Chain A
Amino acid sequence: MATITPALETHGHGHDHAHGHHEQTFIQKYVFSTDHKVIGIQFLITTLLMLMVGGALALAVRWQLAFPWENMPIVGKLFGVFQGEGGQISPEFYTMLFTMHASVMIFLVIIPVLAGAFGNFLIPLQIGADDMAFPVLNMLSYWFMWPAIFCFGYSFIAGGATAGPANGWTSYPVLSDIASASPSSGEAQTWWLFGLTLVGVSSMMGSVNYMTTIINMRAPGMTLFRMPLTIWSMFITAILQAFALPVLTAAGFMLVFDRLHTLIPTSIHSVFFVPAGLVVNNAAPTVGGGQPLLWQHLFWFYSHPAVYIMLLPAMGMVSDMLACMCRKPVFGYKPMVYSMAAIAGLGFIVWGHHMFTSGMNPALGMTFMTSTMMIALPSAIKVFNWIGTIWDGDIQFNAVFLNCAAFVALFIVGGLSGIFMAAVPVDIYFHDTYFIVAHFHYVLFGATLFGVFAGVQFWFPKMWGREMHDGVQKVHFVLTFIGMNGTFFPMHLLGIAGMPRRYADPYLHGYLEHLLPMNQFMTISAIIMGFAQFLLLGNFFYSIFYGKKVGRNPWNANGLEWSAPSPPGHGNFDVPPVCYRGPYEYSGPESEALGQDFILQTTAPPAGVKVAAAHH
């Protein structure tokens, strides 16, 4: 086979070898762009900004828990909405705060930063394609985020300061269904549902695109088992999205039909989730034969797989980064793939564990308990393999590695605390207490966000041709890690002490009074953690313009993306990539023959080296 070697450092900028194209206007190039890299970066910057919004909401929640009913510093005076409350957070506002914190973090940060930002940016580059299969669909998937952000944003204004969407991110009917049930269940809830649906549309367009691209557009030689684990995770995530999301969309429309008359009095008024005879706030008794548990089943049928949508891509990315930073192949590549597939498969049959106290049939509880216990198994296998990957590696102790190691360390906590709530009798006590809050923050923040912090720095050079400052990232890592554990680890203890979630003032109850100092400590930790994120943002935006310039492969990594120019031009590769091996052949005989500890997937096998690594 002919060897194709890109002249590595001579090209400052990639030539568009395949498409002769016309000069693009600024708007075509940077705003309504169909280039997957631009779309990925658009997603990344949007989600990083939304991360700060969600973080600000969280800090307000923490303020109320540490200093209940005290005037908020600075913000309390700044915004008119608090004036009526004398600078306090009202209970209505508090319920809105945690609802929107969760909604923003889940739907506008975690899901779009993984699938939207990294999925878009990395899939074509790592499989050696020039772009996504459907570039216009891809562009639309980003631009559908903005109507969603608008709907979520407008829902704050629609009802005024005390009537924002405040029914929890789970929005259980009947509370979210009947307008008289709560001030927040008026117009705001309907706009919130529109926002949710639009996020779903965006995700669906992305997922169809990812599946098609990964199946059809891999470079020559890029067999399925030579794909980086990032691509496997994106592929499996896309499948999860495609099969689970329609259920949520359908449920969302059912709830919208139940509620549409609050916006348009003459419109449809169904009662999918409302049983007969409820007297809500002295309104006339309800009519109809709906079932509130139906929403819980439909909602969690999507939202449990969604938990893995919020985690799997980070697992894949961390596997890639760990291999590179330890200069070692991923330990157990195929078990890693199979366990991700197992997580995805089992992910569809565990939704009932959110409903152990809901009054569903106890026989279902037993079934869901067993399936939920079993989903811990692939997660455990992955943890062991990550430790195996680090074992005896030539570790590069940079911030990328530290964030990845934190991912593993904190995912262990999140995974193990999950076992308590998989066990139904124990969950009966822990359900809806802070133990649950601790658990999912360890998974979503401890694991996913630390994976994202690592990923931002790792792929930054490919996005901008410059690198982020590693020292600043290390400071950010330490502050975030300490703040994160200081905030969320005590939540386990609060949960054991029986402190329920979503309480504007838990200290009303005598047996929780003594937990106030602990909550104050947690709030201080959260403030440290929140402000540490400015280091990340500052470093990110500063480095775009002033970071140290780097070449194509600053990390000496193996993936196809590192054979493209940094940043890659339109069409990505200056030399059509051919893939000769798996992505993790660090420190192997082939690389040794070249006198280095890595070998790009595109590098032809050096003469005289027996390649045993083609199948492993």
Chain B
Amino acid sequence: MKKFWALFFWFWPLVALYLCVIAPGRNWWFPSKPLSTLGHQIDGLFYLILIIVTVTFVGTEFALGYALWKGATKNPSSRAWFSHGSHKLEIVWTIVPAFVLVFISLTQLDVLADIRVLSRFPDSVKEAPVAEVMARQFEWRIRYPKPGTDLMTSPQPGDLYYVNEVHVPAAVPTMINLRTQDVQHAFFVPRLRVKQDAVPGLVIPVWFEIEEAGDYELLCAELCGWGHYKMKARIVAESPEGVSAYLTRLEREQNEDGVQEAETASVE
């Protein structure tokens, strides 16, 4: 029975490890490869930590299981090892993890700065948000500037509005201004690895560069009330020409009073 317990503690980390190994094949892994430039860097850092952590996990769990195995197969007449510890070992297992942890920490700094520090944003987006994304219970309200003008912090007469769909250009850096009208929300786009809280009273710039045209899920990731789960929206990445065509269409629809078209139709 003693050996059973030692094997038990050896066995379950193997199951856990096996689960992680088969996970990508079963689609239990990232929803897709990262589809933004920063996403690649984030995933790279994730895999770096994953390797370090897996080695540590296997090492420590194996050592624990081995310690149990030694105890289970011990000669019953011999006494336990009378030891209060080892100064040398303590130094080794303090310094080695310290270096590893500082190393991990240092590898993160550049990417963090690229994601968050305004002065490190690409020059092309620094002053030019394409849209304001205003979260509210339980939807996303998008405000674009009138084509040919800049986005202002406060709404302007010619601004264009849409709900739960953001059109942004693909393959170029893009910045949006994130706000909330009521409580806290968070702007989460899993395939782009983008997440930023929308904080009442703040305008927070968020930038990303989507690599491929397509649709991307946008969700809320900060509890915002009972309908938190259904703040479903999408980001549509298309060519810059596509975006301006969309905005032109949106402008026409928004300014459509229903009269002109009817007249044209009756003349024909």
Interface contact B63-A420, CB-CB below 8 Å: no
Given A390-B71, A409-B9, A509-B219, verify A373-B102 contact (CB < 8 Å).
yes
Q: How far is the CA of A539 from the CA of B65 in the complex (A)?
A: 28
Q: How far is the CA of A384 from the CA of B91 in the complex (A)?
A: 12
Interface contact A381-B61, CB-CB below 8 Å: no
Residues facing A in B1-20 (CB within 8 A) are 1-2, 5, 9, 12-13, 15-16, 19-20
Give B23 Cβ to nearest chain A Cβ, in Å: 5
Q: How far is the CA of A452 from the CA of B68 in the complex (A)?
A: 21
Of chain B, the residue at the smallest CB distance from A175 is: B183
Interface contact A359-B104, CB-CB below 8 Å: no
Q: Which of A326, A376, A424 contacts B108 (CB 8 A)?
A: A424
Residues facing B in A318-372 (CB within 8 A) are 326-333, 335, 357-359, 362-363, 365-366, 369-370
Q: Which A residues touch B245, using CB under 8 A?
A: none
Q: Which A residues touch B180, using CB under 8 A?
A: 278
Q: Which A residues touch B31, using CB under 8 A?
A: 497-498, 511
Q: How far is the CA of A277 from the CA of B13 in the complex (A)?
A: 53
Interface contact A387-B64, CB-CB below 8 Å: yes
Interface contact A497-B28, CB-CB below 8 Å: yes
Q: Count contacts on B: residues with CB < 8 A to the other chain.
A: 99
Q: Which A residues touch B78, using CB under 8 A?
A: 394
Interface contact B82-A328, CB-CB below 8 Å: yes
Interface contact A292-B1, CB-CB below 8 Å: no
Q: What string of 1s and 0s marks CB contacts (under 8 Å) between B196-210 and chain A?
A: 110111101000000
Interface contact B111-A587, CB-CB below 8 Å: no
A431: interface (CB < 8 Å): yes
Q: What string of 1s and 0s marks CB contacts (under 8 Å) between A380-403 and chain B?
A: 110111011011111101000010
A276: interface (CB < 8 Å): yes
A416: interface (CB < 8 Å): yes
Give A151 Cβ to nearest chain B Cβ, in Å: 21
Given A357-B197, A509-B217, verify A377-B85 contact (CB < 8 Å).
no
Q: How far is the CA of A496 from the CA of B19 in the complex (A)?
A: 13
Q: How far is the CA of A376 from the CA of B94 in the complex (A)?
A: 11
Q: Which A residues touch B228, using CB under 8 A?
A: 95, 502-504
B162: interface (CB < 8 Å): no
**Segment from B41-49, B143-151, B252-260 that makes contact with A:** B41-49
Q: Which A residues touch B225, using CB under 8 A?
A: 95, 175, 181-182, 184
Q: Which B residues touch A279, using CB under 8 A?
A: 136, 181-182
Give B243 Cβ to nearest chain A Cβ, in Å: 24
A14: interface (CB < 8 Å): no
Q: Which B residues touch A502, using CB under 8 A?
A: 223, 228-229
Interface contact B84-A92, CB-CB below 8 Å: no
Given A168-B223, A175-B223, verify A278-B232 contact (CB < 8 Å).
no
Q: Which of A392, A432, A490 contacts B19 (CB 8 A)?
A: A490
Q: Which of A95, A363, A509 contacts B226 (CB 8 A)?
A: A95
Given A395-B74, A587-B82, verify A362-B98 contact (CB < 8 Å).
no
Of chain B, the residue at the smallest CB distance from A489 is: B16
A264: interface (CB < 8 Å): no
Given A328-B80, A335-B90, verify A362-B64 contact (CB < 8 Å).
no
**Segment from B122-130, B163-171, B186-194 that makes contact with A:** B186-194
Interface contact B115-A174, CB-CB below 8 Å: no
Q: How far is the CA of A192 from the CA of B233 in the complex (A)?
A: 33
Interface contact A387-B41, CB-CB below 8 Å: no
B213: interface (CB < 8 Å): no
B70: interface (CB < 8 Å): yes
B264: interface (CB < 8 Å): no
Q: Which B residues touch A428, using CB under 8 A?
A: 42, 115, 193-196
Q: Which B residues touch A373, using CB under 8 A?
A: 101-102, 104-105
Q: Which of B9, B19, B83, B109 contacts A366 (CB 8 A)?
A: B109
Interface contact A92-B90, CB-CB below 8 Å: no
B152: interface (CB < 8 Å): no
Q: Which A residues touch B226, using CB under 8 A?
A: 90-92, 94-95, 166, 182-184, 504
Residues facing B in A571-598 (CB within 8 A) are 584, 586-589, 592, 597
Given A380-B93, A394-B79, A428-B193, verify A405-B9 contact (CB < 8 Å).
yes
Q: Count contacts on A: residues with CB < 8 A to the other chain.
A: 115
Q: Which B residues touch A137, using CB under 8 A?
A: none
Interface contact A511-B217, CB-CB below 8 Å: yes
A293: interface (CB < 8 Å): yes
Q: Which of B61, B71, B201, B219 contacts A292 (CB 8 A)?
A: B201
Q: Which of A90, A178, A369 contacts B112 (CB 8 A)?
A: A369
A423: interface (CB < 8 Å): yes
Interface contact A387-B197, CB-CB below 8 Å: no
Interface contact A381-B93, CB-CB below 8 Å: yes
Given A358-B197, A416-B56, verify A281-B137 contact (CB < 8 Å).
yes
Q: How far is the CA of A509 from the CA of B133 in the complex (A)?
A: 20
Interface contact A426-B222, CB-CB below 8 Å: no
Q: How far is the CA of A616 from the CA of B82 in the complex (A)?
A: 12
Q: Which of A276, A416, A508 contacts B229 (CB 8 A)?
A: A508
Q: Which of A181, A397, A408 contacts B5 (CB 8 A)?
A: A397
B116: interface (CB < 8 Å): yes
Given A390-B67, A397-B72, verify A597-B80 contact (CB < 8 Å).
yes
Interface contact B112-A383, CB-CB below 8 Å: no
3 smallest A-B Cβ distances: which pairs? Answer: A275-B201, A395-B71, A498-B190
Question: Which positions in B face A, CB cutoff 8 Å?
Answer: 1-2, 5, 9, 12-13, 15-16, 19-20, 23, 27-31, 38, 41-42, 45-46, 49-50, 52-53, 56-57, 60-61, 63-64, 67-68, 70-72, 74, 78-86, 89-90, 93-94, 97-98, 101-102, 104-105, 108-109, 111-113, 115-117, 136-137, 180-184, 186, 188, 190-191, 193-197, 199-202, 204, 217, 219-230, 232
A-B contact sample (8 more), CB < 8 A, given A357-B195, A496-B29: A91-B229, A168-B223, A373-B101, A374-B98, A412-B56, A416-B53, A417-B53, A425-B42
Sample of 18 A–B contacts (CB below 8 Å): A91-B227, A95-B225, A175-B183, A175-B224, A332-B90, A357-B186, A357-B196, A357-B197, A365-B112, A380-B93, A392-B70, A392-B80, A405-B68, A420-B46, A428-B195, A502-B223, A503-B229, A616-B85
